[in-house]
Structure 1
Amino acid sequence: MPRLSADERREQLAEAAIRVMIRDGVARTTTRAVVTEAGVPLGAFHYCFRSKEELFQTVIERIMERNLPPGDLAPPEGATPFEAVRAILRAYWEQVRARPAEHLVTYEVTQYALRSPGLADLARRQYRHYLDVNAAHLEAMGRAAGLAWTVELPVLARHGLGVLDGLTLTWLIDRDDAQALAALDEYARYLASVAVPLPAAGRPGGAGVSGPRRGSASP
């Protein structure tokens, strides 16, 4: 077995847990199943994670990280606020469509945590993390599009989380791409309606959207 750093081993176990959750479901994801999938001894799990709850939190963060829009995304030159926001949201949506099984896992984790004694705080931390990531992404989106939001960021982040969370779950159920994109465009119109142009001095020169990295938005 190759020697890995603690961070590399955590990454290995988190990825193994995601595969087990997709294959067997969250409720049947045990620490033994995860280490078997990863091909490591049980002691490796306890070396990297204090609990199964901590593993689940890491899984949520991993899935969120790789479903952010590309870091070098920039709106089309001369785009209207609506067109700029829509381009960024559609890039996010392509990440959703590319990994539906991972998104299903996140909903399963929430339900499992809420129904399991002692794990309710996992669901609260999960959605606090989502709110932080949404707020950071809205800030990055505004900078890239040259826009400032007229709604307080915590309120806008909660509103956006409700929209995107519901839209994703509905799409996971019916896989109606046309309706999903139409609803996403309506959200883009709403965001454009609560945005004003940034002063020229506040606009980054050619900056693209850069989503938050691990540790920057998590509680």
Structure 2
Amino acid sequence: MPRLPAAERREQLAEAAIRVMIRDGVAKTTTRAVVAEAGVPLGAFHYCFRSKEELFQTVIERIMERNLPPAGLAHPAGATPYERIRAILHAYWELVRTRPDEHLVTYEVTQYALRRPGLADLARRQYRHYLDVNRAHLESMARTAGLAWTVDLAVLARHGLGVLDGLTLTWLVDRDDEQALAALDEYARYLASVAVPLPAPDLPRT
């Protein structure tokens, strides 16, 4: 077996854990099941992770990272703030639709952690990470769309997390694409209502 750097081995084990979680459920995702899926010895797990909870946190972060909309999304000339925000949210939603099993895993991790003594901090770290990611996403959205928010960013990030988290879970239950997109558009209208265009940069004098 080739000896991989620790970072690559962590990635290998995290991806194996995601596959096991999707196939067998979070409660059955043991360290032995993960190393068996990855095809590595048990010692490789303890070399890369201090605990199963650390692995779960890494899984959550990986799923979040690859479900963010692409940076630098192009907008047609003359697009309104609503149209710009809507395009970014739809790009995000398309990623949700293409990886539903991964999103289901994140909800299952939350329930797993909250129901086990001593693991509640895993759920707290999970949602702190979500808030950080959502805040960074709102900052990126504003830059990409040429906007500034008129609402405190921490409040806006928590509000957005509640909206997107709820929309995602509801869609995982009913898979109603039409209603999900309609609700997403309403969220885009709200964001546009609390955004103002950034002033155009001064052009250099010739």
The Cα shift of 1:150 comes to 0.2
Q: Which runs of 5+ in 1 are unaligned?
A: 203-219
Kindly provide the CA deviation profile for residues 51-81 of structure 1, in whole angstroms up to 9, marking residues without a partner as x: 0000000000000000000123122221100
Equivalent pair of 1:75/1:88 in contact (CA under 8 Å):
no
1:55 corresponding residue in structure 2: 55
Task: Give the distance between the partners of 2:72 and 2:147, measured in 1 at CA.
Answer: 18
Aligned amino acid, residue 96 of structure 1: V
**Structure number with larger C-alpha Rg:** 2
1:84 corresponding residue in structure 2: 84
Kindly indicate whether structure 1 or structure 2 has the higher relative contact order, using CA contacts under 8 Å at least 6 residues apart: 1
Whether 1:140 aligns to 2:131 is no
The Cα shift of 1:93 comes to 0.2
2:101 corresponding residue in structure 1: 101
1:7 corresponding residue in structure 2: 7
Task: Give the distance between the partners of 2:148 and 2:75, measured in 1 at CA.
Answer: 15
Identity of aligned residues (%): 87
2:37 corresponding residue in structure 1: 37
1:168 corresponding residue in structure 2: 168
**TM-score by structure 1 length?**
0.91
The Cα shift of 1:117 comes to 1.1
Task: Give the distance between the partners of 2:73 and 2:2, measured in 1 at CA.
Answer: 37
Equivalent pair of 2:17/2:29 in contact (CA under 8 Å):
yes
Aligned amino acid, residue 40 of structure 1: V
Equivalent pair of 2:72/2:144 in contact (CA under 8 Å):
no
Aligned amino acid, residue 185 of structure 2: D
Aligned amino acid, residue 35 of structure 1: V
Equivalent pair of 1:60/1:106 in contact (CA under 8 Å):
yes
Task: Give the distance between the partners of 1:107 and 1:138, measured in 2 at CA.
Answer: 22
2:158 corresponding residue in structure 1: 158
Aligned amino acid, residue 43 of structure 1: G
2:71 corresponding residue in structure 1: 71
Task: Give the distance between the partners of 1:131 and 1:35, measured in 2 at CA.
Answer: 31
**TM-score by structure 2 length?**
0.97
Moved over 6 A (4+): none
Whether 1:197 aligns to 2:190 is no
1:182 corresponding residue in structure 2: 182
Q: Which runs of 5+ in 2 are unaligned?
A: none
1:206 corresponding residue in structure 2: none
